[in-house]
Every structure is written in structure tokens, then in C-alpha cells.
Amino acid sequence: MDSQNASVTARQPQRERGRLRVAALLEAADQLFASKGFEATTMTEIAAQAGSSIGSLYQFFPTKEHVADAVLTDHAADLYQRMDLLTQQATQWSVADTARHLFTALIQFRAAHPAFAVLVEARGAPPVKAMGVRQKMREHVLAILRLKAPDKTDEALAPVAVVVLQIMKAAVALNGEEDLPTRPQALDEMREMLVQWLTSRLNPTT
């Protein structure tokens, strides 16, 4: 986002009608970002998809970057909520079960929010927000790893957290190959690869 755009802020709706309009605009943007990508999607298309006027869209979101920022913020809030729940539950799980639940949770999240990866990875999308999401995810995974390997330092666990997320990134890409006949079996193999690798890296004492 350039400095000129960064100086402009999105407008928050004050009435219920405005909130519903914003929700429709963000839903339309979400669908378009997922199907076309950030750069190819236009403000005109977002307004048309939502059944709204372009003026109404600009009333709430001065730029496409502001729209993307709002969509990414909503998705990130859901992701953090899921990760908080996983962290709480992980205290009751083995390392292997923790890895399996983490794998499933992130696959399900990405399937529910296909625009998330587009906005986090896309060139031109809000860079500060995307960087913040990636850092927050590493912190969430690191918190889970601390629970399962309390004898290890953050310095030792931090690269493990990065690799876990890279494995998940590959798994999400694989899950998107809907025409691949062996997709379910391949996902099972990737999940068990994560289980075996994470168990060996954490070397739990219990």
C-alpha cells in the first residue's frame, strides 16, 4: 500500500443498514479475491457482485487495499480463535494427536476461507497486515510446541514452528487439487509425515 493510500482510512458504518451493506461488500470481495486473485479483482466488480453502487463501495472503502485489509482482518480473527482453542485442547493431547488436530484445523480453515491465502501471499495486498498474520501464526504454533516440549527453548522451537507452517502450506495446496484421484490418500500421508516428524523433533519425555 503506498503512502497516499495509507493516509486514508476506511469508514465504519454507524447504522444497521450500513453494516449489512458492508457485510455484503466484503462477502463479494472475498469471493472475487478467492476466484480471481487480488490484483485481477476490481472495485467495480466488487460493487457489482454485491449488488451495490460503486459510490457505496468507495463510501466505506477508499481503495481496494482497504477492502482486502478488512477481509483479511475478519479471516484472521477466525483463525486466531481456532488456534486459541487448539492451544487449550493441546494440553490434553499427545504430540501425535496435537499434530493431527493442527493439520485438520488448518486444512478446514483454509477450505472455509479460500481468499485468506490469496491475500496473505499476493503481491500488492496489504503487506503490513499479511506480515502480522504470518508472525501471529508462528507465535500460535510456537505456543503449542512449548506445551508439548517444555524442556526446549524458544530458540530451538522457533524453526520447528516455521517448518510446521510450511508443511501446512503444502498440504493446503494439495487439498486444493480437487481433480487429483489420490488426494485423500496423499493428505493422509502428509498428515502422518507431520506426526512422525514432529514427534521426533520434540522428543517428548511422556
**CATH at 35:** 1.10.10.60
Is 2 contained in some domain? no
Burial grade of 43 (CB within 10 A; 0-12, 13-18, 19 or more): middle
Residue after which a domain boundary falls, among 19, 41, 62: 62
Q: What is the pLDDT of residue 117?
A: 87
- Does this model's pTM top 0.85? My answer is no
Q: Quick check: 132 pLDDT over 60?
A: yes
Contact, 86 vs 108, CB < 8 A?
Answer: no
Give 18-75 pLDDT, tens digit per residue.
Answer: 789 999 999 999 999 999 999 999 999 999 999 999 999 999 999 999 999 999 999 9
Same domain, 101 and 194: yes
> Does a structural domain hold residue 4?
no
Total tally of structural domains belonging to the chain: 2
Note whether 57 and 118 are same-domain residues: no
The pLDDT of residue 204 is above 60: no
Containing structural domain, residue 127 = 71-202
Q: How far apart are CA 33 and CA 198, in angstroms?
A: 33
Same domain, 15 and 76: no
190 and 157 belong to one structural domain: yes
CATH of the domain at 194: 1.10.357
According to the model, what pLDDT value does residue 3 have?
Answer: 36
pLDDT reading at 156 higher than 70: yes
Residues 77 and 164 placed together within one structural domain of the fold: yes
Q: Are residues 42 and 103 in the same domain?
A: no
pLDDT tens-digit readout, 67-121: 999 999 999 999 999 999 999 999 999 999 999 999 999 999 999 999 998 898 8
Residues 107 and 183 in one domain: yes
Q: Is the pLDDT of residue 198 over 80?
A: yes
Q: Please check whether residues 80 and 146 belong to one and the same domain.
A: yes
